[in-house]
Chain A
């Protein structure tokens, strides 16, 4: 019943011309190479600081990619209509999890700088002995392999099926993708939760929060939706997806950004208030480190910048239906996700106050440029949207 007439896309789809962006690709590739070499130097010169910096950058990009993976499986599990046109980019970003698995290796190599519990022999720390069954390096390693392996297999499967459907339009692939997604829903929740426990929460083995996994998830989902807005807008700026992604799609993406902005605040505050109110030293130490000294200013910036600001702005429909304005908010939210990860990782090292290091920046650049480079190699291989998805036409005609 829509009044909008849509040009039905050609079955060949739209292809990203990699030659147009050879310069950018070369730039990203060389920046990544230089930054990785410098990071290797950092791991030798200042391994203690570098290990935390690298973990921070890893956590930031990992949550972004895992979030995109989450949106893909939710799309299939709920048989969503609007996501079809943006799904290929979600799949491409989720496929970067395979690269991130490689970039996890430095964390394993530098583990003794990061995780104090690995070096304390049994019998020296009662609180730790109680957790030995879980906090054990061999088990930690197996879990990391399972989590990352699962993310790689599932994201690759979903992308392969989707790309093969582009060729023959076989609806069977939709069914298979749905099956992978159903199995993925509980697996994703477990892997992300325990991944967050292992890699971030165990930086301080005294501290625990049962909400920590959900907290990481809330940040990941909201910031990856923001990243999707940025990626889609960048592609549209380059002249692609013009007739495919409409303002209606932007409206929905904006609504999701708002929803997860609220959800993040709900979970973040829930975690904070229960600990603040109960006032048990074992639990409060995490927030005391982050609420005092110069960390206080950054914590307040996170509270205001990750929730109050975007919340008020995203309430307006005129923002959600205006790609460039929405991009400003989306970029800000991605930046806030970075701050969030920074505030989780770095105070574990610099408990007395903010201490920005060059390795923080270099790690970010190294991982970011590597992922950007691989992403630019992935995009031209397939159409920019799933051309023969059974629900493509409905998605193109979306009205909400």
Chain B
């Protein structure tokens, strides 16, 4: 773990950029330099930033599929189980074998959607490391402008390619201003 001369743990090295376009260009340079643990911050979503950062495909969809299939199977189990297996009842002369399935579709559909929604919500929280009460990036005073007009990029110290001199040079080359070390605590 990197430390400052005063003994603070180092979270990241960060820089501020004058515009969304400058941040976008900087992100491409950082991506091409091979860094993995870094992020950009802006007051609004920037189109194409995921590509500029080289983020690739999110696997949230995998979790949603898992949730949806679990919901479908749960519904099938709790519907077919009693009505076909445990306690068949003749309702309105409807069949009580497999062909009563149209009556079950609404519940199957709803549980699929419900479990899929739950899965997407909780997996999203998990993948983003939420809930989280505090983030070290807020230790940098200038960062408060991120909700107003500030565009920031931070490369974390735990990135294997992180060296103080190397990252400082890269951030300078990409036009970063107010380059600083951000403390972990």
B48 engages A276 (CB within 8 Å): no
Q: How far is the CA of A102 from the CA of B102 in the complex (A)?
A: 41
Contact residues of B: prevailing secondary structure: helix
B102 engages A276 (CB within 8 Å): yes
Q: How far is the CA of A1 from the CA of B51 in the complex (A)?
A: 10
Q: How far is the CA of A273 from the CA of B49 in the complex (A)?
A: 46
B51 engages A3 (CB within 8 Å): yes
**Is residue B135 within 8 Å, beta carbon to beta carbon, of the partner chain?**
no
A272 engages B47 (CB within 8 Å): no
B46 engages A273 (CB within 8 Å): no
A1-B24, A3-B51, A279-B92 given; A272·B46 CB < 8 A: no
Binary B-proximity of A258-279 (CB < 8 A = 1, otherwise 0)? 0000000000010011001101
Partner of B105, one of A1, A2, A273: A273
B102 engages A3 (CB within 8 Å): no
Q: How far is the CA of A399 from the CA of B21 in the complex (A)?
A: 17
A269 engages B105 (CB within 8 Å): yes
| A269 nearest in chain B by CB position | B105
For A1, the chain B residues whose CB sits under 8 A away are: 21, 24, 46-49, 52
Near A by CB (< 8 A), chain B positions 19-57 give 21, 24, 46-49, 51-52
For A3, the chain B residues whose CB sits under 8 A away are: 48, 51-52
B103 engages A277 (CB within 8 Å): yes
Near B by CB (< 8 A), chain A positions 359-400 give 399
For B52, the chain A residues whose CB sits under 8 A away are: 1, 3
Q: How far is the CA of A279 from the CA of B92 in the complex (A)?
A: 9
Chain A residues within 8 Å of B, Cβ to Cβ: 1-3, 269, 272-273, 276-277, 279, 399
Q: Can you report 23 residue pairs joining A to B where beta carbons are below 8 Å apart? A: A1-B21, A1-B24, A1-B46, A1-B47, A1-B48, A1-B49, A1-B52, A2-B47, A2-B48, A3-B48, A3-B52, A269-B102, A269-B105, A273-B102, A273-B103, A273-B105, A276-B102, A277-B92, A277-B102, A277-B103, A279-B92, A279-B93, A399-B47
Ordered nearest first, which 8 A-B pairs have the shortest CB separation?
A: A1-B48, A1-B47, A273-B102, A276-B102, A2-B48, A1-B24, A269-B105, A279-B92
